[in-house]
Structure 1
């Protein structure tokens, strides 16, 4: 199982030195990937509760960087680690501009981009970027159509219910062919079906492993029904550890526990067949130095197992 680390693109460590330190530390320690998230708004009174914990959005999200710009900065100071988004809201940009940005990053990083898309949870953000909240699934499908078309050849055009792209020459080709892998964060039956039938893989969040692997089986079955090879799909599991000083009971994991408990969870995930697991130590109160120390102890613990 490969291991990844979240970049500090939220909160007090979201600054050049923070990204530099974590990026270089990740490569030095042997991590395989770096990941960023996506926010455009931090409303004082959100219209919908945060979808975990006590329903309150983490205060760290009040300071948020552009995920693709941050990954480009990280790419320029690293040589090996892959660069992923978990998740990039794929509906906040016109799909042609999204395609250009993603392709540019894949070219500049020499093929290290992993595109992780999501639909978000807060209608306020859609209001802020003038994108309708209703009809997100259809908008995502057409966005995927544009990405696939943009990456498919030298000439591209698209005409759909939501977007029209006049025929154009596309000289900017991604480093990865036919394009960077596209993974989706989804948990509904429709979302799991979409992953199995047309995407490169799944971006789940940490949950009890039997439930996780049951959903993964659903995705694999959908791939088989669509006459795709399930072995080509990849799962990259996000873990947001709520670290505690003493061990918690099994019912609180993988939401809260000691570093040792999260190391054990990662080892069990590897045994269950998870392809990649990445951890975001920015989800728990920690200084930049503590975050780097935790990253070192975590990978050492998992690899030792």
Structure 2
């Protein structure tokens, strides 16, 4: 289940209530997204919702701080980012923050990284839009070295880390799982070569599984075990009162249609699926109610 880190429910009370309720209801993980800026006139179309950014994105919390708060109110659920833009801060700073969260949550962190889609956000934080893939590759290098045993040192085209000892070690050994969002052939090859899993967004299942097969084949070609990779699927439901044509799901549909989609996704090989009920206009109580009905419906199947 997605935490309410966007919109009117992005409050201490909202996060605490959703976190506790989700854990008690049997959800296995809580997820946050990432937004640093909501420009008045974006230069790129939003990748979803008909190309228009949801108004809820105008109010956005820091995802890792929110997960730390959720960690303090839960004891079992995993805590993930889908996705955190991994390029908006130096990788050494990111490594320290992620490791701290993994320690404080006693090993419940899933690190989901993406490149984002909006040039204005990159301009606002002083990071070049061009060369994002290469910057992510080197950031992953620094993260891996930070989490490895021994002395940390890195010298690359973009970042230099002098030789140092890092005493802060992640709770999960050897490191928290790193999952990547990717939809281009190059990005999916990066998932296959370097990541512990893939973070897609909801789409028709035949297309989704064709992309997953491609990642598995690339992993095999890279000498990795594709069976060790994990897929976590984000669903941003657009709920309707009346049943829609099945071809429209998961773009829109009733709650029952999304329940059926989740069951079918599990049957085709999706390892984990989470719902962001904040994408539909609801009160906090309605959001909790939808989440309860959804998980009950999935279990009933």
TM-score, L = length of structure 1: 0.98
What is the alpha-carbon distance in structure 2 between the residues aligned to residue 157 and residue 6 of structure 1? 36
8 Å contact 1:41–1:125 — kept in the other structure?
yes
- Which of 269, 276, 281 aligns to 1:280? It is 276
Task: Please state if 1:270 is matched with 2:266.
Answer: yes
Counterpart secondary structure, 1:6: coil
Counterpart secondary structure, 1:46: coil
- Which of 274, 286, 291 aligns to 1:290? It is 286
What is the alpha-carbon distance in structure 2 between the residues aligned to residue 53 and residue 26 of structure 1? 25
What is the alpha-carbon distance in structure 2 between the residues aligned to residue 247 and residue 124 of structure 1? 38
What is the alpha-carbon distance in structure 2 between the residues aligned to residue 275 and residue 251 of structure 1? 23
Q: Which residue of 1 aligns with 2:240?
A: 244
- Which of 142, 149, 162 aligns to 1:146? It is 142
Structural mapping, 1:151-190, within 5 Å:
151-190=147-186
* Runs of 5+ consecutive residues of structure 1 not aligned to the other structure: none
TM-score, L = length of structure 2: 0.99
Alpha-carbon offset, residue 52 of structure 1: 1.6
Q: Which residue of 2 aligns with 1:113?
A: 109
8 Å contact 1:154–1:171 — kept in the other structure?
no
What is the alpha-carbon distance in structure 2 between the residues aligned to residue 301 and residue 251 of structure 1? 21
Alpha-carbon offset, residue 282 of structure 1: 0.3
Q: Which residue of 2 aligns with 1:35?
A: 31
Counterpart secondary structure, 1:103: helix
Alpha-carbon offset, residue 31 of structure 1: 0.3
Q: Which residue of 1 aligns with 2:129?
A: 133
1:99-143 C-alpha deviation (Å, 9 max, x unpaired): 000000000000000000010010000000000000000000000
8 Å contact 1:240–1:281 — kept in the other structure?
yes
1:27-85 C-alpha deviation (Å, 9 max, x unpaired): 11000000000000011101111112321110000000000000000000100000000
What is the alpha-carbon distance in structure 1 between the residues aligned to residue 28 and residue 86 of structure 2? 24
What is the alpha-carbon distance in structure 2 between the residues aligned to residue 285 and residue 248 of structure 1? 19
What is the alpha-carbon distance in structure 2 between the residues aligned to residue 237 and residue 198 of structure 1? 19
What is the alpha-carbon distance in structure 2 between the residues aligned to residue 115 and residue 54 of structure 1? 28
Q: Which residue of 2 aligns with 1:206?
A: 202
What is the alpha-carbon distance in structure 2 between the residues aligned to residue 222 and residue 156 of structure 1? 30
Q: Which residue of 2 aligns with 1:83?
A: 79
1:219-255 C-alpha deviation (Å, 9 max, x unpaired): 0001101111111100000000000000111221101
Task: Please state if 1:224 is matched with 2:196.
Answer: no
Q: Which residue of 1 aligns with 2:2?
A: 6
Q: Which residue of 2 aligns with 1:192?
A: 188
Alpha-carbon offset, residue 153 of structure 1: 1.5
Counterpart secondary structure, 2:223: coil
Counterpart secondary structure, 2:263: helix
1:178-212 C-alpha deviation (Å, 9 max, x unpaired): 11000011000001100011110000000000000
- Which of 9, 19, 40 aligns to 2:15? It is 19
* Runs of 5+ consecutive residues of structure 2 not aligned to the other structure: none
